[in-house]
Amino acid sequence: MFTQEWPAFSQSHQLSYTVPYSFVDSDGHSRDGIEDISLNYRYQALMESETLPAFAPRFSLILPTGDAAQDLGNDTVGYQVNLPLSKIVSDRWTLHANAGATFLPDVEGHDLFSYNLGAAPFTRSENVQSDARSVRQLG
C-alpha cells in the first residue's frame, strides 16, 4: 500500500491518495494488482495540547479502479470515515486510537458496511497493537 499526502492551503487540511497493491491466491489461482484507489481529505481538528489529544478526522472516496473479477476491487464507488486520536502521555508512552466505518453500495447486489476500531500504545522501542473489524451486509 502506498499513500502520498500533501498540505492543502495549510497543515490543518491534508489531501492524499492511497494505492493498495495486493497478491491474491484463491481457488488455486494466484494474481496480483492494484486494488480500488482512495482519495482522502484529512482535517487537523485538534492539535495536541497539555490536556487534549490530537484529533484529525479523515474522509475517503474509494474509486473502483481494481479488477473486481480478479478479486482486486469491488466495482463500486465507496466512502470511508476515520476518527483517529493521539496523545503523548509521558516521556516514553504515546497512545493512539482510531474508529471508522466504510460503506460500499451495491457490491454483487448487496450494500456492505464495515467498521474498524483500534488502539495502540507506543514506546520509543516497541509497540503493541489491538484492533477489531467487522463487515456487515446490508440489504
The C-alpha atoms of residue 14 and residue 20 are separated, in whole angstroms, by 19
Alpha-carbon gap, residue 26 to 69, rounded angstroms:
12
The whole-number pLDDT of residue 2 equals 72
Q: Residue 135's pLDDT is what? A: 52
Q: List, for residues 29-87, the tens digit of each pLDDT value.
A: 888 999 999 999 999 999 999 999 999 999 999 999 999 988 899 999 999 999 999 99
**One-letter amino acid of 59:** F
Q: What is the pLDDT of residues 81-134, one digit of tens each?
A: 999 999 999 988 999 999 999 999 999 889 999 999 999 888 876 655 555 555
The residue segments making up the domain with residue 87 are 2-22+31-138
State how far Cα 114 lies from the chain centre: 11
Q: How many domains does the chain have?
A: 1
Residue 49's pLDDT is 95
Which residue, 136, 49, 128, is CA-closest to 85? 49
Cα 132–chain centre separation: 13
Q: What is the pTM of this model?
A: 0.81
Rounded CA separation 22/34 (Å) = 6
**pLDDT of res. 44:** 96
- DSSP class of residue 102 equals E
Q: Is 67 helix (H, G, I), strand (E, B) or coil?
A: coil
